[in-house]
Amino acid sequence: MSSQQDLAGSREVFRSPGSLVLSWAWVVIAVVALIDLAIQARDHSAVVMAVLVVAITGAVYACALRPRIVADARGITVENPLRDHYVPWGAVERVDAVNAVGVHCVAAPGAAKGKVVHSWAVQSSPRSAQRAQFRARRAQAGQSAEYGRYPAEAQEALRRTLAESTAHQLNERARRERAAGAAGGQPEMHWAWASIAAIVVPLVALIVVVLA
């Protein structure tokens, strides 16, 4: 599922299902590997291998498991591997999906153009476009009579990639929030220190163990 919405309908989470599956698959592999190393090997090479597994797990967490887009009552938060970007609804100019979902911000006073925040979580690719086209053709061929009766919006949704669908939903919500008088403001950026630590600490430990 590309998005999750809470019961109140105010918070939505968008992320890549494939990245989520691969991340948890690696976690299972890492746990099994660490248990096996703890039981069968206790020499220096085993320690190096164990720290390497932890280092890879930290990178997988930061680059695949953590990234997501969160839309709530205040605005859009784009969580990338190392940084988080928050854009209030009133500052969202538009959202598109060229190579990845991009949140275009309203230009700050005196600036020539606004900032564009790209999401690591939801990206577009030629393969995803091909899958979307295949899905639409299959629906049209298999249910040609019913497909023709689908609303235009439903037919268009079948042709969208995950990135395009995410951008469309965020655009629609931004439009509604602005119409409801959402507050503006400037985008904010914060370093994701926990994610940085998940990468740096095991990497430093690996270097120390290898050189020991």
pLDDT reported for residue 174: 95
What is the residue range of 185's domain? 3-124+161-211
Report the share of the chain in percent with pLDDT over 70: 79
25-39, 117-131, 160-174: segment of lowest average pLDDT: 117-131
Q: Say if 129 falls within a structural domain.
A: no
Q: Say if 130 falls within a structural domain.
A: no
Q: Over the stretch 109-130, which tens digit does the pLDDT of each residue have?
A: 888 889 999 999 998 755 554 4
Q: Say if 171 falls within a structural domain.
A: yes
pLDDT category, 143, cuts 50, 70, 90? low
pLDDT reported for residue 135: 47
Does the pLDDT value for residue 170 go beyond 50? yes
**pTM reported for the whole predicted model:** 0.80
Total domain count, the chain: 1
Q: Which has the higher per-residue pLDDT, 4 or 200?
A: 200
**Token pair 């976690």 in the structure block, residue:** 27
Does the pLDDT value for residue 133 go beyond 60? no
